[in-house]
Amino acid sequence: MDVRILCLLLLLNNGLCSSFELSKEFDVKPLIRDFRDKNTYIRARNEMIFAESNMRIGHDIVLNNQEQKVNQKLMKYKQLEINESRVQNGKPFPPSVSFLTGKPLVEKSQVFQMIKLMPKGAALHLHDCSMVDLKWLVKNATYRDHCFMCTTVKHAVYFKFFGGTPPDNPDCPWKSVKTERQKARSIDEFDNMLYMNMSLITPDPVKAYPTIDVVWARFLQVLNQANGLINYTPVFTDYFYEALSEFNLDNVQYLEFRGLLPQVYELDGTTRNRDWVMKTYNDIFEKFVADHKNEFTGGKVIYSGIRVVPEIDVLNQVKEAVRFRQMYPSHFAGYDLVGQEDPGVPLISYVDALLYPSEHIPPIDLPYFFHAGETDWEGTPTDRNLIDAVLLNTSRIGHGYALTKHPQVMKVVKERGIAIEVNPISNQVLALVSDLRNHPAADLVATDFPVVISADDPSVWGARGLSYDFYMAFMALAGETTDLRLLKKLSMNSIQYSAMNPVEKGKAMNLWRQKWNAFIQQALHQLNQSGEISVFG
Amino acid sequence: MDVRILCLLLLLNNGLCSSFELSKEFDVKPLIRDFRDKNTYIRARNEMIFAESNMRIGHDIVLNNQEQKVNQKLMKYKQLEINESRVQNGKPFPPSVSFLTGKPLVEKSQVFQMIKLMPKGAALHLHDCSMVDLKWLVKNATYRDHCFMCTTVKHAVYFKFFGGTPPDNPDCPWKSVKTERQKARSIDEFDNMLYMNMSLITPDPVKAYPTIDVVWARFLQVLNQANGLINYTPVFTDYFYEALSEFNLDNVQYLEFRGLLPQVYELDGTTRNRDWVMKTYNDIFEKFVADHKNEFTGGKVIYSGIRVVPEIDVLNQVKEAVRFRQMYPSHFAGYDLVGQEDPGVPLISYVDALLYPSEHIPPIDLPYFFHAGETDWEGTPTDRNLIDAVLLNTSRIGHGYALTKHPQVMKVVKERGIAIEVNPISNQVLALVSDLRNHPAADLVATDFPVVISADDPSVWGARGLSYDFYMAFMALAGETTDLRLLKKLSMNSIQYSAMNPVEKGKAMNLWRQKWNAFIQQALHQLNQSGEISVFG
């Protein structure tokens, strides 16, 4: 049998075909005719299926024998889990269920368990104060001395650390967390209340968050609630170290996050400025890498303004970003604007400030990483942020949810390799799409767009690291037959499209390769132990 | 001012720009550079926005002065209505609300009112027994003599006409509708109960229909309930005449529908066969056109098997379709397979039967109109129906919901002008997508794919004619600035992509043009009357 036919058969049976490549360009014209016999038909059909599989993210990955064995196992799980939901078998399909209630379903998945083990490269779209599991904030930060809480009339709990007696706060009087916890019926119940109060988790998300504006209001509020804990200097430094630890534990070796570089406070009420914050990030990156040699690569900060401020503030932030990039070349990447995009000021209104680096003589190189197109509202100023992002030479696009409605922007993105930072769970929880199989990134995956998968604000919806979002990408942004090659390529993409310089990328890829090989060995070992390898032996 | 710049300004302000066209191909490369001044930037930006507007469905339509006035009014309403929902103004956006509860919101829309007046050309994707408002079935069919009903233990009401005493039916005993209605507390309440019982309408669709399989089970059941009324010979003929009347009243001049060509029964229990049914359709088409000269064009039947039968049945149906096409060239179009696609037999399993016409020597010309890709499950046998549909030379694709995940199929569809029959409300109600702004056809609209808008089974969700689906297409499958040119083109597409022959199409287009001009005059008249024209005078 011709190896090409064999490959087609393999592909049709289990989505496995990696030993060689057919030509990528596939001419449809000859197919379009009346078929005079079934064999010709089936051949044309297989060619078309193969041609599509050959356009997908990961089509250029060649799996070795060992990887193929792991892949077979992974695909067995994937097909099993899909079939449990598909065609009247009735189990809810996790990517179709709000993550706020569906997280336990994901955790039961064997596919998810394999993805957790897998090195996922870099997390490129995160935010400073929503990276760490809220349980850590509750179990660590709120147990520290001097921690106070207050509860508003609307039952939102805010926190602050005070050296002495807290000031009067009539609308929301400060109480010692320690005392409140002691007074509580049960410590677990009390801590769980704090956890739920700082998260979006709720038993009926449709009812609790009927519109995107409602969920965003609550989202910004819970971030604000946690900030009282996070922005206390000792917690701040520990929080960031913990963030790196959690991502490292989830087999992520590098991260880039949007940072507001907020004012951080001391017990005596004095505050630390942006320079202190940036230096702290820099030093903790260095320390963490030193503490985790041959394990963790590092990361970079993307300084971010909030898309509501006057243009003069944006100009000052841009200038500050230029300065930070000179001061911290290893750990500072560039500039972005954050906040809910629909009601926010569109990029075009900040264009004078944002053109500052390129209008300078000689031009200043300040990479941008714009959030753009995080909207369902086509044709609006928000939607046009995608156009400004690429015209302003953005290095990547945050979300780019509306991209597929913009054929010209798509052309630029593909030609220039502008990575789209896709955050599936975030887009679901923050009400852009309910069933992740309808996420437009499925089309980007189908046509090998430069896509990276990230987690946005995992803490807020009870996720941790990147694995949950990788699971959604694998199960919902790609079809039943799309295999390990997608995951491997997404993982490699995350390093390729990071803000690292070529030398840094080379080092990171070397480490990634070691981790990948170790993962394959570990997965094979598990298969061997469970005796299942014999099936494929 | 250069007319090109003027046009860009107009476009940016109100989406209006029709007096000329820029070149369609837009080279992005020169844009990608650092901008040295804001003017250059703004020019490049406007060019990119214009280039995208110039790729959309309708970009090639040139509006005359009168059409532009109507368009300005339409766009004023559109922007007003979008802004009422967008950015924390809080009104629910009708395309984001399940139509089962959101229909009254649509009816309040001024955009919808204008769309109702507009000639919408042809409805190309309908089904035989779900075209007529259920109110007609209740208020007309169930009031006829000899009408009996029975209620199952699960509260589903079935109907049948009997000449004498109905037979024993222990599980669901037959009762005279007339008597039951007389016994009811209120006739309105009773009739409303019958109406609701045959429809999917429910106050809490998410709760009532948690999965696609649940809603499909109920959908098939309510179709079945109505069939007891519809398939009684006298009702059957009147039902079809009523269908043509309702679409005609909704300014639709032609229709093509999938027909099962069911057994139709007489009072004495005897039945009429497919030939009788097909002849009846043919004769009623002729009669309706004769009764509505210069108003209605006609229509065609697409004979449809159910995608669960053995292949031998499909072969027999294909042969029968060939015969009908010879017998009724004016009113018979071709063949399709219908039913829920996910659990159904995929096209590939019927390929021997479906290749029959092309394997014949000489090949027999039997147009196919396959439902394909009405699924969220990528990479499954169902999803691959899209591949078989185009390889089997389908004339159009029913739904094609999964199309954008299939780049090779997209290529064929675009190159060969295979129209995609998009039924927005159907896809929402039958649980493929909840917010219609996430419907993948938005991408097809953005890149001028051959799209037609249809209504699928309007009766079942309380719609009527095409206007509700056109409204969804205009508000949700296109952006805020996309204007009357989209609607005009969609309306023209429906005639272009119909199964009419060139002579029939020519006649239909002539009538359509008269209707269009009359619509513009009527709309202008209304604007004049309301004194609003002065704004644009």
Give residue-wise pLDDT tens across range B126-141: 999 999 999 999 999 9
Residue A537: predicted pLDDT: 32
Is B90 in Cβ contact with A213 (below 8 Å)? yes
- Lowest-confidence range among A260-269, B358-367, B485-494? B358-367
3-class secondary structure for B73-120? HHHHHHHHHHHHHCCCCCCCCHHHCCHHHHHHHHHCCHHHHHHHHCCC
Decide: helix, strand or coil at residue A523: helix
Contact, A303 vs A338, CB < 8 A? no
Which comes out higher in pLDDT, residue A537 or B12? B12
Beta strands in A249-343 (DSSP E): 254-259, 264-265, 271-272, 298-306, 332-338
Residue A90: predicted pLDDT: 77
Interface check B213 vs A, CB under 8 A: yes
Interface check A359 vs B, CB under 8 A: yes
| B179-202 burial: b if 16+ Cβ within 10 Å, else e | ebbeeeeeeeebbebbbbbbbbbe
Mean pLDDT of chain B: 92
**For the segment A462-502, what is each residue's pLDDT rounded down to a tens digit?**
999 999 999 999 999 999 999 999 999 999 999 999 999 99
Please give the share of chain B, as a percent, with pLDDT higher than 90: 88
Q: Which residues of B touch A350 (CB under 8 A)?
A: none
DSSP codes, B233-278: HHHHHHHHHHHHHHHHHTT--EEEEEE----EE-TTS-EE-HHHHH
- Lowest-confidence range among A296-300, A531-535, B123-127, B323-327? A531-535
Residue B105: predicted pLDDT: 97
Please give the share of chain A, as a percent, with pLDDT higher than 70: 92
Is B90 in Cβ contact with A408 (below 8 Å)? no
Interface check B208 vs A, CB under 8 A: no
Residue among B351, B376, B416 minimizing CB distance to A438:
B376
Catalytic entry in A67, A374, A421, A504: A374
Residue among B48, B379, B433 minimizing CB distance to A479:
B379
Q: Which residues of A touch B358 (CB under 8 A)?
A: 34-36
Interface check A432 vs B, CB under 8 A: yes
**Would you place residue B281 in the very low, low, confident or very high pLDDT band (cuts 50, 70, 90)?**
very high
Q: Which residues of A touch B355 (CB under 8 A)?
A: 35, 37-38, 41
Cα(B451)–Cα(A464) distance, integer angstroms: 42
Is B363 in Cβ contact with A86 (below 8 Å)? no
Interface check A270 vs B, CB under 8 A: no
Indicate the burial class of B237 (C-beta count within 10 angstroms; 0-12, 13-18, 19 or more).
middle
CA angle B73, B75, B80 (to 5 degrees): 100
**Would you place residue B6 in the very low, low, confident or very high pLDDT band (cuts 50, 70, 90)?**
very low
Radius of gyration, alpha carbons of chain B: 24
Q: Which residues of A touch B404 (CB under 8 A)?
A: 404, 442-443, 446
Per-residue pLDDT at A114 exceeds 80:
yes
User: How far does A93 lie from chain B, in Å, by closest CA?
Assistant: 10
Length of chain A: 537
Decide: helix, strand or coil at residue A327: helix
Nearest CA in chain A to B357: A34
User: How far does B21 lie from chain A, in Å, by closest CA?
Assistant: 17
Contact, B416 vs A32, CB < 8 A? yes
**Would you place residue B25 in the very low, low, confident or very high pLDDT band (cuts 50, 70, 90)?**
very low
Closest CA to B445 of B474, B466, B410, B467: B474
Residue B528: predicted pLDDT: 85
Q: Which residues of B touch A27 (CB under 8 A)?
A: none
Cα(B339)–Cα(B320) distance, integer angstroms: 20
Residue B83: predicted pLDDT: 93
**For the segment A258-303, what is each residue's pLDDT rounded down to a tens digit?**
999 999 999 999 999 999 999 999 999 999 999 999 999 999 999 9
**pTM for this predicted structure:** 0.93
Nearest CA in chain A to B382: A87
Interface test with B, best of A11, A41, A209, A444 (most B CBs within 10 A): A41
**For the segment A313-355, what is each residue's pLDDT rounded down to a tens digit?**
999 999 999 999 999 999 999 999 999 999 999 999 999 999 9
Contact, A386 vs A376, CB < 8 A? no
Cα(A436)–Cα(A401) distance, integer angstroms: 12
Reported ipTM? 0.92
**For the segment B385-424, what is each residue's pLDDT rounded down to a tens digit?**
999 999 999 999 999 999 999 999 999 999 999 999 999 9
Residue B536: predicted pLDDT: 38
- Residue B308 region, left (φ>0) first, then alpha (ψ -120 to 50), else beta? alpha
**Six-digit token string for B215:** 């809603």
Mean pLDDT of chain A: 92
Is B351 in Cβ contact with A29 (below 8 Å)? no
CB contact residues (below 8 A), chain A span 129-168, against chain B: none
**Six-digit token string for B164:** 């004498």
Q: Which residues of B touch A101 (CB under 8 A)?
A: none
Is B479 in Cβ contact with A405 (below 8 Å)? yes
Q: What average pLDDT does the segment A386-404 reach?
A: 97
**Would you place residue A93 in the very low, low, confident or very high pLDDT band (cuts 50, 70, 90)?**
very high
Please give the share of chain B, as a percent, with pLDDT higher than 70: 92
DSSP code, position B232: B
**Would you place residue B529 in the very low, low, confident or very high pLDDT band (cuts 50, 70, 90)?**
confident
Contact, A264 vs A236, CB < 8 A? yes
Cα(B291)–Cα(B254) distance, integer angstroms: 14
Q: Which residues of B touch A30 (CB under 8 A)?
A: none
Q: Which residues of A touch B94 (CB under 8 A)?
A: none
Residue B532: predicted pLDDT: 55
Q: Which residues of A touch B443 (CB under 8 A)?
A: 404-405, 440, 443
**Six-digit token string for B138:** 């209740």
Q: What average pLDDT does the segment A120-146 reach?
A: 98
Decide: helix, strand or coil at residue B418: coil
Closest CA to A285 of A253, A320, A260, A317: A253
Nearest CA in chain B to A447: B407
Helix intervals (H) in A140-296: 177-183, 187-197, 205-208, 212-230, 233-249, 274-291
Per-residue pLDDT at B101 exceeds 50:
yes
Per-residue pLDDT at A12 exceeds 80:
no
Residue B12: predicted pLDDT: 40
Q: What average pLDDT does the segment B450-458 reach?
A: 98
- Known catalytic residue at A331: no
Decide: helix, strand or coil at residue A399: strand
Residue B33: predicted pLDDT: 53
Per-residue pLDDT at A1 exceeds 60:
no
User: How far does A248 lie from chain B, in Å, by closest CA?
Assistant: 32
**Would you place residue A63 in the very low, low, confident or very high pLDDT band (cuts 50, 70, 90)?**
very high
**For the segment A401-441, what is each residue's pLDDT rounded down to a tens digit?**
999 999 999 999 999 999 999 999 999 999 999 999 999 99
Interface check A376 vs B, CB under 8 A: yes
Decide: helix, strand or coil at residue B398: strand
Q: Which residues of B touch A343 (CB under 8 A)?
A: 87-88
User: How far does B491 lie from chain A, in Å, by closest CA?
Assistant: 22
Residue A198: predicted pLDDT: 97
Residue B93: predicted pLDDT: 96
Q: What average pLDDT does the segment B44-69 reach?
A: 97
Query: Is cis: bond before B362, omega within 30 of 0?
Result: yes
Per-residue pLDDT at B365 exceeds 60:
yes
Is A435 in Cβ contact with B433 (below 8 Å)? yes
Is A359 in Cβ contact with B37 (below 8 Å)? yes
**Would you place residue A88 in the very low, low, confident or very high pLDDT band (cuts 50, 70, 90)?**
low
Residue among A48, A351, A478 minimizing CB distance to B41:
A351
Q: What average pLDDT does the segment A139-145 reach?
A: 98
**Would you place residue B4 in the very low, low, confident or very high pLDDT band (cuts 50, 70, 90)?**
very low
Nearest CA in chain B to A210: B92
Amino acid sitting at position B426: S
**For the segment B220-245, what is each residue's pLDDT rounded down to a tens digit?**
999 999 999 999 999 999 999 999 99
Give the N- to C-terminal CA distance of chain A in Å, as an integer: 22
Per-residue pLDDT at A535 exceeds 60:
no
Which CATH number among 3.40.50.1100, 4.10.640.10, 3.40.50.300, 3.20.20.140 corresponds to the domain A116-131+242-519?
3.20.20.140
C-alpha separations of B298 from B153, B252, B281 in Å: 43, 10, 11
Cα(B91)–Cα(B181) distance, integer angstroms: 40
Per-residue pLDDT at A9 exceeds 50:
no
Bridge-based pairing state of the strands A264-265 and A254-259 = unpaired
Interface check B90 vs A, CB under 8 A: yes
Interface test with B, best of A84, A437, A439 (most B CBs within 10 A): A437
Residue A360: predicted pLDDT: 87
In sequence order, what are the residues at sequence separation of 6 or more whose Cβ sits closer than 8 angstroms to the Cβ of residue A360? none
Segments making up each domain of chain B, as ranges: 1-54, 116-131+242-519, 135-216
**For the segment B163-221, what is each residue's pLDDT rounded down to a tens digit?**
999 999 999 999 999 999 999 999 999 999 999 999 999 999 999 999 899 999 999 99
Interface test with A, best of B368, B406, B418 (most A CBs within 10 A): B406
Interface check A405 vs B, CB under 8 A: yes
Cα(B483)–Cα(B74) distance, integer angstroms: 8
Interface check A41 vs B, CB under 8 A: yes
Residue A361: predicted pLDDT: 84
In degrees and rounded to multiples of 5, residue B455 shows phi and psi of -120, -10
- Known catalytic residue at A295: no
Query: How many other CB atoms are found less than 10 A from the CB of residue B160?
Result: 19
CB contact residues (below 8 A), chain B span 295-334, against chain A: none
Is B55 in Cβ contact with A416 (below 8 Å)? no
